[in-house]
């Protein structure tokens, strides 16, 4: 069963399209044990209201991949959640292959990759590993921060048609060609979500980060075509993470 189908089933069973971005601000390395306890506490509290957990370098760097992070991945699986590594793979093929192998070996169900590196000796080794292990690959199409237009929003010449187009539109078309498990489009740019959704024709789910702290809105993101909402600081830094996650889930889940 593909990652795309698995997370759809988990979302249906959990009645949640919320993905927890388990990110925390920098803390002193000597406080890594406290950081792990904090991450474990949030995961334990909010798991009834989310369908997956996304982990970034915020935890991998201080806790270690095969130490604290692998334990958190297992705990997420024990709670019936899917896990995504937000490593934004972006290197040459041989390095990408090793990166993918390590993250999948740690238990992650999917990882996020950057399409700027191209297919041959770029993305292809990642997909080869993912297909072999029956894991997922999610492609960046348009990020959530203000400077994303400098890269993903560039006007380029379509290499196939020879006409001017937007970089993110080409990436969306490549997502269809590569048969990815999902694409990332920032919730802070609902107009981009809508445009990408039209290109994908509903065949590939859109993951929308940037809800809450970055200004992305649940209603507009979903109406534009996002299927999953990635929420971090609005939950992890809340006084009551479980209450915040429940409130966001109740507002976001389509009845």
* C-alpha 116 chain-centroid distance: 17
Is the four-CA dihedral 69, 16, 225, 218 of positive or negative sign?
A: negative
Strand-pairing partners, residue 228, are 207
Of the chain, the end-to-end C-alpha distance in Å amounts to: 26
Count the residues in the chain: 255
Q: Tell which residue, 124, 138, 64, 133, has the closest CA to residue 105.
A: 133
Question: Which residues are within 8 A (CB) of 118 and not within 5 positions of it... i.e. 6 or more apart?
Answer: none
Rounded CA Rg of the chain: 17
Strand-pairing partners, residue 55, are 85
Which of the 8 DSSP states describes residue 137?
E
- Residues 167/154, Cβ–Cβ less than 8 Å: yes
Token pair 């990882």 in the structure block, residue: 111
d(CA 200, CA 203): 6
Catalytic residues: 88
d(CA 152, CA 235): 28
């Amino acid at each position: 069963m593909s990652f795309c189908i698995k997370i759809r089933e988990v979302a249906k069973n959990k009645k949640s399209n919320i993905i927890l971005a388990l990110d925390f601000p920098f803390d002193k390395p000597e406080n890594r044990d406290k950081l792990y306890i904090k991450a474990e506490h949030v995961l334990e509290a909010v798991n009834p209201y989310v369908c997956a957990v996304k982990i970034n370098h915020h935890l991998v760097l201080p806790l270690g991949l095969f130490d604290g992070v692998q334990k958190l991945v297992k705990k997420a699986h024990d709670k019936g959640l899917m896990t995504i590594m937000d490593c934004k793979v972006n290197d040459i093929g041989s390095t990408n292959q090793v990166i993918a192998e390590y993250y999948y070996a740690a238990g992650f169900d999917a990882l996020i990759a950057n399409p700027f590196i191209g297919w041959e000796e770029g993305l292809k080794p990642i997909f080869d590993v993912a297909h072999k292990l029956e894991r997922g690959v999610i492609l960046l199409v348009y990020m959530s921060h203000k400077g994303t237009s400098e890269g993903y929003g560039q006007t380029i010449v379509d290499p196939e048609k020879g006409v001017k187009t937007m970089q993110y539109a080409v990436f969306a078309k490549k997502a269809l060609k590569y048969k990815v498990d999902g694409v990332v489009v920032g919730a802070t740019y609902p107009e981009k979500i809508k445009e990408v959704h039209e290109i994908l024709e509903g065949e590939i789910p859109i993951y929308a980060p940037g809800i809450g702290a970055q200004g992305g809105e649940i209603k507009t993101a979903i109406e534009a075509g996002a299927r999953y909402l990635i929420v971090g600081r609005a939950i992890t830094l809340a006084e009551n993470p479980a209450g915040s996650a429940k409130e966001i889930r109740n507002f976001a889940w389509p009845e």
